[in-house]
Amino acid sequence: MAEERLLRRLPFFKANNPTSPVEGTTYQVQLNTPGHHLNTFSITSTSPRAGAPPPVVLLHGYGAGLGFFFKNYGTLADWAGRKGTNVYAVDWLGMGRSARVPFNVTAKRTDVVARVSEAESFFIDSLEEWREKMGLEEMTIVGHSLGAYLSAAYALKYPDRVNKLILLSPAGVPRGPNHTEPSRELTDEGSNPNGLHPSSPSDRSTQGKAEALRAEQKQTKQQESRSRRLLTYLWEEGWSPFQVVRSSLFLGPMLVGKYSSRRFPSLDQEETKDVHDYLLNITLAKGSGEYCISHILAPGAHARLPLVDRVHALRMPVTWVYGEHDWMDPLGGMQAVQVMEQNGNRKVKMAVIPDAGHHCELLFFIVSLASLTHVRV
């Protein structure tokens, strides 16, 4: 009900209007394993066209759900109607309204590669099952935050199924401060202290914004409390922040309310209330996919297997997008672009969006739509 209240704001949701260029519906796609299903919202063209571009698939971030994109669906619906193609938003397995199945990693904690691979496969293999069930040959994938990280992991494992990859404020890109295995692609020394070699005024402008954002992040980290040591311990033990909300009978709604009002300041009062209700409900649901976080990311949110050391294998067009006040490190994106270009992929670009933060998806999708339609940003 909370999800439907958000989607009901869309004039084409369950409208059953033959004159509308698109129709919006929600349903559960059953996977091969009994009890496993992925919650799906589809924006389907009522006049599909031969030669239309591949459908777009939106994938949310950690602990979120497809309802987080409700402000973006109108613009994406216009695009789908014009192109005669479809847009899908999917809740990752174990999150949103998808099946809350047990999440288990059997690999030893010290076996980082196996541990990360097992955690990633929980999500990306179920997404591949979903694609097969939906009969999609190829997709343009738009992922946000941890969903962007998992989208890249999916593209690395199933490259033939990805037409384009758009990574919005991706998690897990740069190496952390304790990372000891430098990538062969980034061993060249240059005069640039960050290892970046901008080749045009536009590149230098983006790099300047990225460095300014990184300085802002560094100052914030220096002001953090020593209580991070406790959080590090809990993180390594597999603790989930959503457990606090579930165990706090009266404090839970207040904590979620503070989060939703702080992270989505551009919403009006009614929209904020609906987002709060939606977020509270998916947070109170049984813990499942959220327990991936300590296996994929180390304390401090640095990836155990950083994307910057893996993206050299990607050959499809990739767009990296960050907000000007993002908490994700944009220099990781800059380095990833350089790695991909050095390995022959010239279909990559990066943008830093002015006045945007980590959750400013509306501004993000202006860029992603431009990428979908081949307009240079």
pLDDT in tens, the chain (377 residues): 999 999 999 999 987 777 889 999 999 999 999 999 999 999 999 999 999 999 999 999 998 999 999 999 999 999 999 999 999 999 999 999 999 999 999 999 899 999 999 999 999 999 999 999 999 999 999 999 999 999 999 999 999 999 999 999 999 999 987 665 533 333 333 334 344 444 455 565 666 766 666 666 566 555 555 666 666 656 666 667 776 667 766 665 666 556 655 666 677 889 888 988 999 899 889 999 999 999 999 877 789 999 999 999 999 999 999 888 887 888 899 999 999 999 999 999 998 887 777 765 544 555 555 566 544 44
Rounded distance, CA 200 to CA 222, Å? Answer: 33
Q: Is 326 a catalytic residue?
A: yes
Contact 45, 85 (CB under 8 A): yes
How do beta strands 37-45 and 348-353 pair?
unpaired
Q: Are the C-beta atoms of residues 63 and 145 closer than 8 Å to each other?
A: no
CA 97 vs CA 26, 35, 43, 133: distances in Å: 11, 13, 18, 18
Out of 45, 145, 294, 368, the active site residue is 145
CB 167 within 8 A of CB 151: yes
pTM exceeding 0.85: no
Q: What is the CA radius of gyration of the chain?
A: 20
First to last CA, the chain: 38
| Active-site residue, from 37, 302, 312, 358 | 358
Q: Of 105, 88, 91, 108, which is closest to residue 41 (Cα–Cα)?
A: 88
> Which is the catalytic residue, given 277, 309, 326, 329?
326
Distance of CA 179 to the CA centre of its chain: 23
SS3 301: coil
Q: Are 122 and 103 in contact (CB under 8 A)?
A: yes
Tell me the domains of the chain and their CATH numbers.
2-240+287-372 (3.40.50.1820)
How far apart are alpha carbons 366 and 377 in whole angstroms? 9
Q: Is 205 a catalytic residue?
A: no
Q: Is-catalytic flag, 247? A: no
The two beta strands, 139-144 and 87-90, are unpaired
